[in-house]
Every structure is written in C-alpha cells, then in structure tokens.
Amino acid sequence: MNFISRYLLPRNVDFNAALLAQVEICESMIHDLYKACMENNISLLDTVSDSAGRERALKEDNMALLLNVFIAPYDKESIYRMITQLDWVALSAKHFRLETQVYQLHSLSEYEEILAMLSKMVTELKDGFLKLSDKRLEALAVNSSGIHDRYDEIVKLCAEATGRLMTQDDIKHIIRHKDMLLQLKEIAKRIHIAANTLEDMAIKVA
C-alpha cells in the first residue's frame, strides 16, 4: 500500500495551508505599514522588504506545487489567480515602502485612515481563507462583502485626499502624495480581486 500511495496514486497537496501561508505574509506586511503609521516610525517599514522576499519565495513554491499536482481541491485556474493576486498584494506593499524611501517621507500620519482600512481588509481576507477551508461558505460571503465595502470606501478616501492636494500650490508635494495614494489604492484593489477569487473558489466547491 505504501508503494501504491507513493508511486501510483495522485499526489495530494494541502493548498489550503499553502495559500494561507502566503496570505499571512501579506497580512503581516500591511499590518507593518499601519504600525509604522501609528507609531510614527518609518524605520519599521524595513521589515516590509524582508517579508516581500519571503512572500516571493512562497509564491514560487506554490506555483511549483500547482504545476506538479494532478488533483487539486479547487479549480486549478482559480488557485493560479489566487497565487498571483496575493503576490500582487505583497508587491504593491513593497512598492509603497519604496516610495516612502525615494520621496523621503518622515511620517505616514496623513494615510492613517486608509492604512487602518487596508489592515482590516487583509485580515478579512485571511479569515475568508479559514472559512473556505472549513467550508463555511455563507460566512465567507460576509467577509467578501465587507472587503468590497472597504475597497469602495478607500477609493472614496483617496479621491477626497487627492482633491485636497489639488488645492495646494506645491507641485512636488502634490505629485509625491498623489503617487502614494495611488499605491495605497492599488493594494486595496489587489486585496479586493483576491477576495473575488476566493468567492470563485468557494462557488466551485459548494
């Protein structure tokens, strides 16, 4: 039986655990952005680049698993989309940290409300993964709805902040902070798309 299990039966991969590990790193990165804002300490963002490297390695590991598995618990195309969207979340957080460095920002205080909402979005995404693995699909739908609403609110907050920037005269200040707001909106967008993909995975196992 051991011979049959090892060489003849299709390989069984725990994609719930594999994807959860990836989303947990994304959650850690977003929380670190928010922590740097709350503690008014830009140096705390140094952890973001390290986390991005670990997420990238996990993304490559998960892609290798997907390419080499015959049977998966979810639609393989959905798993692929989830892997790549989580990588986009991490990459967008890494780019936000890069822009704080290039633009020599010394405080993230003006982004506090948006970062707080992003932090809640990514935690809701992780909770959705846990509910998917437990097949609590109706509860997962509640998470996805919450992420949708927070994304909508973040777009509104970014638009309002951009509007306030446009009333100022310092062009360099406007360009710098407009880029930062666009990057925050990109993080939110990627979390939202990941939540949609999670719903897609849930529908196909319902």
Residue 7 inside a domain? The answer is: no
- CATH number of 63's domain: 1.20.58.220
Question: How many domains would you assign to the chain?
Answer: 1
Q: What is the distance between the alpha carbons of residues 167 and 136, in angstroms, rounded to a whole number?
A: 48
pTM score, two decimals?
0.89
Residue 2 inside a domain? The answer is: no
Residue 89 inside a domain? The answer is: yes
Report the 10 Å Cβ neighbour count for 92. Answer: 23
- The domain containing residue 18 runs over which residues? 12-203
Residue 40 inside a domain? The answer is: yes
Residue 191 inside a domain? The answer is: yes
Instruction: Report pLDDT digits (tens) over 22-70.
Output: 999 999 999 999 999 999 888 889 899 899 999 999 999 999 988 887 6
Residue 127 inside a domain? The answer is: yes
Instruction: Report pLDDT digits (tens) over 103-148.
Output: 888 889 889 999 999 999 999 999 998 998 888 888 888 888 999 9
Residue 3 inside a domain? The answer is: no
**Cα 125 off chain centre by:** 8
The 3-class secondary structure across 53-73, one letter per residue, is HHHHHHHHHHHHHHHHCCCCC
